[in-house]
Amino acid sequence: MQKVLIAEDEKDIRELVGFTLKLAGLDTVFAANGFEAISRAKEDLPDLILMDLHMPGMEGDEAARQIALDPSTKNIPIIFLTARDQDLEISGQIGQGVNFIAKPFAIESLTSKVKEALVNNQK
């Protein structure tokens, strides 16, 4: 079963995304901030990371940079969750194929984008 790490500081969103992805047949693990996301990525080696851009302690873009520098996690695709349109400009600054899902999001759109990213990463 494919595994998705959900790094989101808002508990309600984290649980909603986790529930949605479990219904879609995916295994999920969670992180509440950037530091936890880095640790969980190394520990669990997920197939994909859904990462909020704005989290306390360490922002999602910085966590993504550190994940990309680690040989064991550098190939894990990351999709950013963001509620701010200006964050879409970050894509060129992070590296690896960056995708975004804007909050609020439609459940079908979230599931579709996650599954598409998982399929593309297997190629």
How many CB atoms lie under 10 A from the CB of residue 82?
19
User: Before 104, cis peptide (omega within 30)?
Assistant: yes
Dihedral over Cα of 9, 11, 14, 18: its sign: positive
In 3D, which of 16, 17, 54, 106 has the Cα closest to residue 4?
A: 17
Please tell me the distance from the alpha carbon of residue 111 to that of residue 106, in angstroms, as a whole number: 9
Please tell me the distance from the alpha carbon of residue 40 to that of residue 90, in angstroms, as a whole number: 23
Name the CATH topology of 3-122. Answer: Rossmann fold (3.40.50)
Q: What is the mean pLDDT of each run of 10 residues along the chain (123 residues)?
A: 96 96 97 97 97 91 93 94 62 56 85 92 74
Which ranges of 1-123 does DSSP label H, i.e. alpha helix?
11-23, 34-44, 60-69, 91-94, 107-122
Structural domain spans, the chain: 3-122
What pLDDT is stored for residue 120 in this prediction? 87
What pLDDT is stored for residue 38 in this prediction? 98
Read off the pTM: 0.89
